[in-house]
Structure 1
Amino acid sequence: MARLAAFIVMLIPGLMAAGGIKFMRDTLFGKLISPFPFLWVQFVVGIILFVLGFGFFAGFLLHRDRKNGKVAPRFQKK
């Protein structure tokens, strides 16, 4: 059950990051998606989604590895 919960926790930010990449890619190819009025707004939302999704994913992995003692000494909590 814990593995399923961890999978769901990792799935949501992964989808956010993937959506952010898609928005940025569509902006580079000049395709405007309907909820966005301008291409630059679409690109900014894409960057925000990517950074939030990737940051949550990285933070989750760092927290898990700290708990299991698998990080380098410089990443240990003081």
Structure 2
Amino acid sequence: MTRIIAALFLIVPGIIAAYGIKLMRDSLFNELFPIFFHLGIQFFIGFLLFSAGIAFIGGFIVYRDRKKQLIKKKK
């Protein structure tokens, strides 16, 4: 059961990061969503979503590896 919950904790930020990539790609191809009123803002929001998703996944992996002592602790 805990593995399913852990997988969900990784799937949701992955979807958020993928949506961020989609927003950035669409702004590069001049496809503006009605929510955003400028392409630059759409790109910036997409970059924030992408960065947050990747940072969460990376932090989760580092925390798990430190817990299992696969990574040496900082001095």
| CA distance in 1: counterparts of 2:68 and 2:14, whole angstroms | 23
Residue 52 of structure 1 corresponds to which residue in structure 2?
52
User: Considering only aligned residues, what root-mean-square deviation do their CA atoms show, in Å?
Assistant: 1.0
CA distances 1:12-61 after superposition (whole Å, capped 9, x unpaired):
11011001000000011111012111100100000100110000000000
TM-score where L is the length of structure 2: 0.94
TM-score where L is the length of structure 1: 0.90
Residue 29 of structure 1 corresponds to which residue in structure 2?
29
Structure 1 residue 69, shift from structure 2 partner: 1.2
Residue 63 of structure 1 corresponds to which residue in structure 2?
63
Structure 1 residue 77, shift from structure 2 partner: 4.4
| CA distance in 2: counterparts of 1:16 and 1:57, whole angstroms | 11
Q: Which runs of 5+ in 1 are unaligned?
A: none
| CA distance in 2: counterparts of 1:61 and 1:21, whole angstroms | 21
4+ residue stretches of structure 1 with deviation over 2 A?
none
Percent sequence identity over matched residues?
Answer: 44
